[in-house]
Amino acid sequence: MSKKAELHYNGKVYEVPVVIGTENENAIDISKLRGKSGLITLDRGFKNTGSCESAITFLDGEEGVLRYRGYSIEELAEKSTFLEVAFLLIYSELPTREELDAFTKDISEHSLVHEDVRSILDGFPSKAHPMGVLSSLVSSLTAFYPKSLDPNRSVEQINGTVIRAIAKLPTLAAWSYKNRVRQPIVYPKNNLSYSANFMQMMFALPTTDYVVSPVITKAIDKLLILHADHEQNCSTSTVRVVGSSHASLYASVSAGIAALWGPLHGGANQAVIEMLEAIRIDGGDVDKYVAKAKDKDDAFRLMGFGHRVYKSFDPRATIIKKAADDVLKELNINDPVLEIAKRLEEVALDDDYFKSRNLYPNVDFYSGIIYRALGIPTDMFTVMFALGRLPGWIAQWKEMRENHEPIGRPRQVYTGSKERKYVPIESR
């Protein structure tokens, strides 16, 4: 039986339908409310607004649950590979062995990018942040694949665009780093796994062979899985909204990369390491920084703490914290910032300010420590996040198109001047 909610306003009662999800999430559907009552809803930062119905990722922020297509993040991080998870997100089901082999082959055979991309890359100064370079290079793919501009093409053609995006992002990401350090670019190698191929493009040099350690590729794969999707976050919503105007997949993903870049979102992983380093250089006084984070007159926030939807714990952070310990042990690395991070977490979790606001470490709190141990430079951390998030962006873009969603166009409450007469410049 369909449920309804009632809204009482100005002496009238308006009935609004209630939509119920498979995990019993209830939502009031207000899409026709304005037509009936003249009312819109106001929800700054979309804190309590569902923008779509989605069958991709389930998240329960109160219980710390995260599932991709019904499978728990804990199991996927433990047992699957990144490309398997990418397949799951994009095509809804875990692949059979044959499907995964074909998918992997397809991706490795499309990893090369057009040689002319190199001249675009050469145009960037070495100081350019790799996220800016990556966003631009992804957008430039529309120039090399002009047919991808039409999002209404056949399923097979769209699939070609999808495969190219997954195949080429590691190449573009590694090249954005090579531009930064002014080293010759390295081409992809089809015989390597997705993560190993990325690492060799990052670190191989014409002068030396680069052998990728299995400890490193396994850790990268796990990190990519943990970042692969996270329902309607800032960058994913951006991808869906940009795509809702029928902009191409590459244009939408390029916009998603820009949204991810900010320090309140994916850019937090870079900001966390910079914060931990600053604390270390300042003598390691964790209490001082906790006090700063609590001080309303100080703009400082504990980066990697807090989350819009997780109000008990971020399950990804739990997995990453353990992985950080394991990876550092396996690589025999003693990083003093790991100790600072753990002390900071301990102090904050015992503090009323953080407890009362449900502020816990998020996915970015420990990920930077692993990236550092794997040799990834700090300003590439958010690029790693983008690599992981790509299948999620693609799945969400595809779902939005397949569901024929309307263009994303919120309303507003106008608070500016009432109509007034134009005043000629001489009279102002």
Enzyme catalytic residues = 307, 364
Q: How far apart are CA 254 and CA 259, in angstroms?
A: 9
User: Are the CB atoms for 238 and 255 separated by under 8 Å?
Assistant: yes
With contacts defined by CB under 6 A, name the span among 50-58, 132-140, 195-203, 261-269 that binds ligand ACO: 261-269
293 binds ligand ACO (CB under 6 A): yes
- The edge-to-edge listing of strands for the beta sheet with 65-68 is 57-60, 65-68, 71-72
With contacts defined by CB under 6 A, name the span among 15-23, 91-99, 176-184, 300-308 that binds ligand ACO: 300-308
Q: How far apart are CA 72 and CA 57, in angstroms?
A: 10
Among 307, 321, 372, 398, which residue sits at the site for ligand ACO (rule: CB under 6 A)? 307
Q: Which of residues 92-111 bind ligand ACO (CB under 6 A)?
A: none
Among 251, 268, 323, 395, which residue sits at the site for ligand ACO (rule: CB under 6 A)? 268
With contacts defined by CB under 6 A, name the span among 3-11, 167-175, 216-224, 354-362 that binds ligand ACO: 354-362
Among 221, 231, 364, 399, which residue sits at the site for ligand ACO (rule: CB under 6 A)? 364
Q: Which is nearer to ligand ACO, 114 or 292 (CB)?
A: 292
Binding mask 147-166 for ligand ACO (x = CB under 6 A): --------------------
Question: What amino acid occupies position 307?
Answer: H
Q: How far apart are CA 69 and CA 286, in angstroms?
A: 40
The pair of structure tokens assigned to 273 is 């390491």
First and final C-alpha spacing in the chain: 63
362 binds ligand ACO (CB under 6 A): yes
Among 362, 334, 335, CA closest to 348: 362
Residue number of the CB atom closest to ligand ACO: 306
Give me the least distance between CB of 305 and ligand ACO, in Å please.
4
Q: How far apart are CA 220 and CA 194, in angstroms?
A: 10
239 binds ligand ACO (CB under 6 A): no
Give me the least distance between CB of 262 and ligand ACO, in Å please.
9
Residues in the chain: 428
The DSSP-derived string for 229-286 is --SS-HHHHHHHHHHHTT--HHHHHHHHHHHHHSTTTTTHHHHHHHHHHHHHHTT--H
264 binds ligand ACO (CB under 6 A): yes
Residue 11's CB is within 10 A of a number of other CB atoms, namely: 5
Q: Which is nearer to ligand ACO, 219 or 293 (CB)?
A: 293
Phi, psi at residue 245, to the nearest 5°?
-85, 10
Q: How far apart are CA 177 and CA 194, in angstroms?
A: 17
Q: How far apart are CA 405 and CA 399, in angstroms?
A: 9
With contacts defined by CB under 6 A, name the span among 6-14, 183-191, 302-310, 322-330 that binds ligand ACO: 302-310
Q: Which of residues 204-233 bind ligand ACO (CB under 6 A)?
A: 233
With contacts defined by CB under 6 A, name the span among 56-64, 160-168, 238-246, 259-267 that binds ligand ACO: 259-267
Which residues are CB-neighbours of 291 under 8 A, at least 6 positions away? none
Give me the least distance between CB of 159 and ligand ACO, in Å please.
28
Q: How far apart are CA 194 and CA 221, in angstroms?
A: 8
301 binds ligand ACO (CB under 6 A): yes
390 binds ligand ACO (CB under 6 A): no
265 binds ligand ACO (CB under 6 A): yes
138 binds ligand ACO (CB under 6 A): no
Give me the least distance between CB of 355 and ligand ACO, in Å please.
11
SS3 17: strand
69 binds ligand ACO (CB under 6 A): no
Q: Give the number of residues in contact with ligand ACO, rule: CB under 6 A.
A: 20
Return residues touching ligand ACO (CB under 6 A). Answer: 45, 233, 264-266, 268, 293, 301-308, 357, 359, 362-364
